[in-house]
Amino acid sequence: MSHVTLEDVARAAEVSLATASRALNGRRVTPHLHDRVLAAAARLAYTPNAHARALAGASRRSVGVVCHDVTDPYFAAVAGGVMRVAADNDLLVMLASTFRDPEREIAYVSMLRAERAPAILLIGSGFEDPRWERAMAAELAPYLDGGGRVAVVSRHRTLKVDSVLPENRSGAAELARALLGLGHRRFAVLSGPPELTTVADRLGGFRDELTAAGVALDPGAVAEAAFTRDGGYRAMTELLDRGLDATCVFACTDVMAVGAYAALRDRGLSVPGDVSVAGFDDIPVVRDLAPPLTTVALPLHRLGEEAMRLALTENTARRRRVVRLPGAVVLRDSTAPVA
Amino acid sequence: MSHVTLEDVARAAEVSLATASRALNGRRVTPHLHDRVLAAAARLAYTPNAHARALAGASRRSVGVVCHDVTDPYFAAVAGGVMRVAADNDLLVMLASTFRDPEREIAYVSMLRAERAPAILLIGSGFEDPRWERAMAAELAPYLDGGGRVAVVSRHRTLKVDSVLPENRSGAAELARALLGLGHRRFAVLSGPPELTTVADRLGGFRDELTAAGVALDPGAVAEAAFTRDGGYRAMTELLDRGLDATCVFACTDVMAVGAYAALRDRGLSVPGDVSVAGFDDIPVVRDLAPPLTTVALPLHRLGEEAMRLALTENTARRRRVVRLPGAVVLRDSTAPVA
DNA sequence: GCGCTTTCAGTAAGCGCTTTCAGGGTGCTA
DNA sequence: TAGCACCCTGAAAGCGCTTACTGAAAGCGC
For residue range A217-255, list pLDDT tens digits in order. Answer: 998 999 999 999 999 999 999 999 999 899 999 999 999
Rounded mean pLDDT, B5-13: 93
C1' of nucleotide D8: residue with nearest CA: A29
Are A51 and B115 a contacting pair at CB < 8 A?
A: yes
DSSP letters, B65-93, are EEES-TTSHHHHHHHHHHHHHHHHTT-EE
- The Å distance, CA of A17 to C1' of D11, is 10
- CA gap B279, B276 in Å, rounded: 10
Residue A2 in contact with partner chain B when CB distance is under 8 A:
yes
Residues B47, B182: Cα–Cα separation, whole Å: 62
Say whether pLDDT at A155 is over 90: no
What residues does B122 pair with on adjacent strands? B66, B152
Q: If residue A67 lies in a helix (H) or strand (E), which one and from where to where?
A: strand A62-67
Nearest CA to B75 out of B325, B283, B317, B286 is that of: B283
CA B35 to C1' D24, in angstroms, rounded, equals 23
Its pTM stands at 0.87
Nucleotide nearest to A18 (CA to C1'): D10
Do the Cβ atoms of A142 and B47 come within 8 Å? yes
Distances (CA, A) of B220 to B217, B245, B278: 8, 11, 19
B250 to each of A54, A128, B307, how far by Cα in Å?
50, 47, 28
CA of A280: how far to CAs of A34, A35, A38, A240, in Å?
Answer: 56, 56, 53, 21
Q: Indicate the residue type of A175.
A: L
Note the pLDDT of residue A158. 63
Helix (H, G, I), strand (E, B) or coil at B191: strand
Contacts of B102 in chain A (CB under 8 A): none
**pLDDT for position A2:** 67
Q: Does A285 touch chain B (CB under 8 A)?
A: yes
Residue A1 has pLDDT above 60, yes or no: no
Rounded to the nearest 10 degrees, the angle between the axes of helix B17-24 and helix B31-43 is 90
Could you read off the pLDDT of B133-170 as tens digits, one per residue?
A: 888 988 898 898 888 899 999 986 767 789 999 999 99
Q: Rg of chain B's alpha carbons, rounded to an integer?
A: 25
Instruction: Write the pLDDT tens digit of every residue in B192-250.
Output: 998 888 999 999 999 999 999 999 999 899 999 999 999 999 999 999 999 988 999 99
Angle formed at CA A74 by CA A68 and CA A76, multiple of 5 degrees: 75
Asked if strand D contacts B49 at the CB level, meaning under 7 A, the answer is yes
**CB-based contacts of B144, cutoff 8 Å, min separation 6:** B150, B161
The Cα-based distances of B216 to B184, B212, B236 in angstroms read 12, 9, 20
Q: What mean pLDDT is reported for chain B?
A: 92
CA-CA-CA-CA dihedral for A183, A186, A191, A194, to nearest 10: 120
pLDDT in tens, B276-333: 999 999 999 999 898 999 999 999 999 999 999 999 998 877 788 999 999 999 999 9
From the list B64, B129, B131, the residue with the least C-alpha distance to B98 is B64
**Which of B75, B90, B97 is best to mutate for the A interface (most A CBs within 10 A)?**
B97
How long is the CA A79 to C1' C16 vector, in angstroms? 33
The number of beta carbons lying within 10 Å of the beta carbon of residue B142 is 16
- Indicate yes or no: strand C within 7 A of the C-beta of B50: no
**Would the CB atoms of B83 and A97 count as touching at under 8 Å?**
yes
Residues of B in contact with A92 (CB under 8 A): 94, 96, 108, 111-112, 115
The pLDDT score that the predictor gives to residue B158 is 63
Choice among A10-19, A162-171, B123-132, B251-260 with the minimum mean pLDDT? B123-132
Nucleotide nearest to A6 (CA to C1'): C16
Whether A115 has its CB under 8 Å from any CB of chain B: the answer is yes
Q: Any CB–CB contact under 8 A between A226 and chain B?
A: no
Render pLDDT for B51-65 as a digit per residue (tens, 0 to 9). Answer: 999 999 888 888 999
First to last CA, chain B: 76
Q: Does nucleic acid strand C have an atom less than 7 angstroms from the CB of A24?
A: yes
Q: Which of residues 31-60 of A touch B (CB under 8 A)?
A: 45, 47-55
Contact at CB, B94 and A97, closer than 8 angstroms: no
- A191 - beta bridge partners? A224
CB A55 to CB B49 under 8 A?
yes
Specify the higher pLDDT residue, A130 or A268.
A268
Q: Does nucleic acid strand C have an atom less than 7 angstroms from the CB of A6?
A: yes
Please give the pLDDT value at position A130: 85
pLDDT at A301 over 80: yes
Range B309-330 burial, b when 16+ CB lie within 10 A, else e: bbbbeeeeeeebeebebebebb
DSSP state of A294: B
Cβ atoms B96, B66 nearer than 8 A: yes
Q: Kindly identify which residue of chain B lies nearest to residue A49, measuring between CA atoms.
A: B114
- Whether any strand D atom is under 7 angstroms from the Cβ of B87: the reply reads no
**Burial track A5-19 (b if 16+ CB lie within 10 A, e otherwise):** bbebbbebbebeeeb
Which of B264, B271, B285, B301 to mutate against chain A (most A CBs within 10 Å)? Answer: B285
CA distance B62 to chain A (A): 9
Which residue is closest to A64 within chain B, CA to CA?
B94
Contact A92 B111 (CB under 8 A): yes
Given a contact cutoff of 8 angstroms between Cβ atoms, the answer to whether A251 and A264 are in contact is no
Residue B71, CB, strand C, below 7 Å: no
Residues on chain A touching B104 (C-beta within 8 angstroms): 87
Contacts of A97 in chain B (CB under 8 A): 79-80, 83, 87, 93
- The Å distance, CA of B310 to C1' of D20, is 33
CA of residue B258 relative to chain centroid, distance: 19
Asked whether strand C has any atom less than 7 Å from the CB of A49, the reply is yes
On chain C, which bases lie within 7 A of the protein's CB atoms? Answer: 7-20
List CB contacts (< 8 A) between A115 and chain B: 50-51, 62, 92
Nearest by CB: A52 against B55, B146, B258: B55
Nucleotides of D under 7 A from a protein CB: 7-20
Q: Are B290 and A289 in contact (CB under 8 A)?
A: yes
Burial track B243-252 (b if 16+ CB lie within 10 A, e otherwise): ebebbbbbbb
Cα A99 to chain center, whole Å? 13
Q: How far is B281 from chain A (nearest CA, A)?
A: 15
